[in-house]
Structure 1
Amino acid sequence: MRLSLFYIPLFARALLAKPWRTRREDLKGCVANVFGDNAADRIVTADDETYTDARIGEHIQDEQLPALIAFVQHKDEVAPLIKCAKTHGVQPVPRSGGHHFLAYSALKDALVIDISHIDHVQVSEDGATATVGGGIRLGALYTALHAARGGSADGFDWPGGICPTVGLSGYLSSGGFNMQMRAVGLGVDSVVSAKVVLANGCQVTASPDENPDLFWAIRGGGGGSYGIVVEWTLALREYPRSSMVLMRWNADADANANGNATGNATGNATAAGQDARAEVAKAWHAWAPRADPALTSQLLIYQHSVEFLGWCFGCAEDTLRSIVAESGLPSLGLPEVHYSGGCGTNAARAVGYLGDACPPDEVADQIAPYALNTIQQPFTPLEGFPVFDWDQRPQAPELPTAMPWPRAIRVASSYFVQRDNIPDGEVIDELVSRLDLLDPAGVPFYEWHAWNISVSGDSAFPWREQAYSHLEMVAWGSEDEEAQDGLVNWFEETEAFLRPIVG
């Protein structure tokens, strides 16, 4: 034993002493042996013209340059790929969706194990569970469940998020925020078990009965931290018809309607108290996390407008109208108001993406695929760079393929507002004012979600008990270095302002 331990550091030193290009070629050879005959189609390195497209997810960046990207075809390929990475001194990094704001699913000099083609869906005969590939995107999952229901808008479904191109494993590793969560809980609350490949290359089952600590950790404990999940068994539930509300305020129009607004250099309304955005935000934040738990809602605050979207799970339209009336929102300014009832689940998911109200079932069936029937690499092409297009197949080939998801240079930060540290109206006024300091070309906005979840659950997600709301700040960045530095500086200054308040 002493001899073997003595040789381990010697082996590591010898390995790392190899030139990086030699190590990368050795790694490529190892991966090719795992992949077999079609390895050339599924391995991408910096020498390939499709490298830029293959390595970049939603966020356009040039900091994270992986050594090799391996596109997995079968779940049993994951374990030997991890062994390849360890043998050649390279960090293995799993990727299911590619939505991480800092591109942590494609780290510098890493072996990216892309599992987006592990996207099978098998629903049990009783409709109680679905066994799902760990790399499936949420839109593809919803498409498959719709087909398993025989194309019906009624029946079983699963509480996933509203962004159709997010990968299931990344979604669950972050907790599983969704627009029904105040009624039915987080996504991690609807997981039965998982198949996980560990760092030692072993595949194990994680469930309440087998490896319960691992089962707890992979649900909300961080992406790829404890293993690579290659398969999930999800608990399905009957989804009732629901009602949706969408309200939209134009800040300038509301200010001008009150007769005493003036414009600044960017065209924003500046009369004190007349810009609807801050007043709407204050009313919504005081009410939405405390509203009937059937209603989960979000607020989108832009430089010229604010938008309120709510999903009332299992509610009739009249019930939703009564709940929203308690907020006072309809009487603030001059909102454009859309209520719709009797919404099937996919129709409800389309609100805000493909329309302002739930379409009838037959219309939803026609338009939903344009958002939900995603392919494995669903992002818009990058100008000047060839597309990686190996085996791109939608979940339902007979339906239209989902529109490509936009890529952008993205700067973002997020905050959980805790129940013990709820900001007052002056803080919200300041946040709205700060938004107006940014260049409109970056389309900056705040995305604010009501939490205060009463549904119990046991997972690694740390914010369930204390989260009152979740605020995300987003702006598209710039290729201009000075403009980008100014944007980053704004985020740092806003962090310094808000973090001490909300914790």
Structure 2
Amino acid sequence: MEIGSQIEGCYRNTSLGMPCRQGSVPPLGIDARTVEDIQAGVKFAADYNLRLVVKNTGHDLARSTGRDGFMIWTHNMKGIVIHDKLTPAGAPVTEFHEQAVTVAAGVQWHEVYSKLDDVKRMMVGGVTNGGSVGAAGVDNVLEFAVVLSNGEHVTANAQQHPDLFWALRGGGGATFGVATSVTYRMYPTVVAVLLEVAVDPSYPNQALKSSIEECIRISPTLTDMG
């Protein structure tokens, strides 16, 4: 088999017994460990007109892969900073949030939860960039640190770059930059919280529909209440 065909193997519909080679994983990338690494990667991709792919663990299959692209791998960008009191960038000193945590791009959720458990705190995360499952995840973001397509490293929050802050929380597509860290609200640990809704759409039910609509309606209020 020629090298080119090896690289192009492993489509999603490949049979189970066939060898899996490069597939849609970019053949070239950078092991980013600092903001400067990401800036260099963004510039390199722009200079050579390469499709840019950002990956931590690869959980987001559709956007963490890209055939013949250039990957910025953030998995080794570790760092968790707990703030007892945080004033967002650009905000007056009189505006602050108690209990916040800043999470670097390569940190996984089990690492965050373990760290917060040590200080008896909790947070709501999830699929943050581009919107979460429900309102709770994005509504708890205080600010993003982002490398833009021109290589500039900015902080996006309600005071600085508010349009970008809006977009990164689900107001648009996921092509605005590479997040280097995200800062979230924290809360005192509670024993247990569980909300589960199972819906069978094959059985139309107006009462069920109304109940779900009400849950969605009050979700922002519940989030504000912590």
Residue 456 of structure 1, aligned match among 202, 212, 220: 220
Residue 145 of structure 1, aligned match among 104, 116, 119: 116
Identity of aligned residues (%): 25
1:113 paired residue number: 72
User: Cα deviations across residues 438-470 of structure 1 (Å, max 9, x unaligned)?
Assistant: xxxxxxxxxxxx78322229xxxxxxxxxxxxx
* 1:143 alignment partner AA: S
CA contact (8 A) 1:121 1:131 kept: yes
> In structure 2, do the counterparts of structure 1 residues 62 and 68 end up closer, same or farther at CA, with 3 Å as the change threshold?
closer
DSSP-derived class of the 1:132 partner: strand
Residue 52 of structure 2 corresponds to residue 92 of structure 1: yes
1:195 paired residue number: 145
* 2:170 alignment partner AA: G
CA contact (8 A) 2:130 2:167 kept: no
Structure 2 counterparts to residues 405-416 of structure 1, below 5 A? none
CA contact (8 A) 1:69 1:113 kept: yes
Higher helix residue share:
1
1:78 paired residue number: 38
Residue 187 of structure 2 corresponds to residue 423 of structure 1: no
* 1:157 alignment partner AA: M
User: Cα deviations across residues 406-458 of structure 1 (Å, max 9, x unaligned)?
Assistant: xxxxxxxxxxx9xxxx935179xxxxxxxxxxxxxxxxxxxxxx78322229x
Residue 126 of structure 2 corresponds to residue 130 of structure 1: no
CA contact (8 A) 1:175 1:186 kept: no
Residue 29 of structure 2 corresponds to residue 69 of structure 1: yes
1:81 and 1:62 map into 2 onto residues whose CA distance is 21
TM-score, scaled relative to structure 1: 0.34
CA contact (8 A) 2:130 2:170 kept: yes
1:426 and 1:297 map into 2 onto residues whose CA distance is 19
User: Cα deviations across residues 14-43 of structure 1 (Å, max 9, x unaligned)?
Assistant: xxxxxxx9xxxxxxxxxxxxxxxxxxxxxx
2:114 and 2:172 map into 1 onto residues whose CA distance is 26
Cα distance, 1:133 vs structure 2: 0.3
2:56 and 2:197 map into 1 onto residues whose CA distance is 26
2:195 paired residue number: 296
> In structure 2, do the counterparts of structure 1 residues 211 and 296 end up closer, same or farther at CA, with 3 Å as the change threshold?
same
> In structure 2, do the counterparts of structure 1 residues 111 and 222 end up closer, same or farther at CA, with 3 Å as the change threshold?
farther
Structure 2 counterparts to residues 140-289 of structure 1, below 5 A? 140-147=111-118, 149=119, 155-161=120-126, 171-177=127-133, 185-221=135-171, 224-242=174-192
1:109 and 1:62 map into 2 onto residues whose CA distance is 10
> In structure 2, do the counterparts of structure 1 residues 113 and 76 end up closer, same or farther at CA, with 3 Å as the change threshold?
same
DSSP-derived class of the 2:111 partner: helix
CA contact (8 A) 2:146 2:181 kept: yes
The structure that has the greater radius of gyration is 1
* 1:296 alignment partner AA: L
2:204 and 2:188 map into 1 onto residues whose CA distance is 43
Cα distance, 1:160 vs structure 2: 2.8
1:426 and 1:237 map into 2 onto residues whose CA distance is 38
Aligned pairs, number = 185
1:223 and 1:158 map into 2 onto residues whose CA distance is 25
Higher relative contact order (CA 8 A, sep 6+): 2
Query: What residue ranges of structure 1 are gaps of 5+ in the alignment?
Result: 1-20, 22-45, 47-51, 53-59, 150-154, 162-170, 244-294, 300-416, 428-449, 458-503
2:208 paired residue number: none
User: Cα deviations across residues 311-369 of structure 1 (Å, max 9, x unaligned)?
Assistant: xxxxxxxxxxxxxxxxxxxxxxxxxxxxxxxxxxxxxxxxxxxxxxxxxxxxxxxxxxx
CA contact (8 A) 1:159 1:187 kept: yes
Cα distance, 1:225 vs structure 2: 1.2
> In structure 2, do the counterparts of structure 1 residues 74 and 130 end up closer, same or farther at CA, with 3 Å as the change threshold?
same
Query: What residue ranges of structure 2 are gaps of 5+ in the alignment?
Result: 11-19, 86-97, 206-211, 222-226
Cα distance, 1:115 vs structure 2: 0.8
2:101 and 2:57 map into 1 onto residues whose CA distance is 20
* 1:216 alignment partner AA: W
1:224 and 1:68 map into 2 onto residues whose CA distance is 21
CA contact (8 A) 2:141 2:184 kept: yes
* 2:220 alignment partner AA: S
2:34 and 2:167 map into 1 onto residues whose CA distance is 24
1:216 and 1:61 map into 2 onto residues whose CA distance is 39
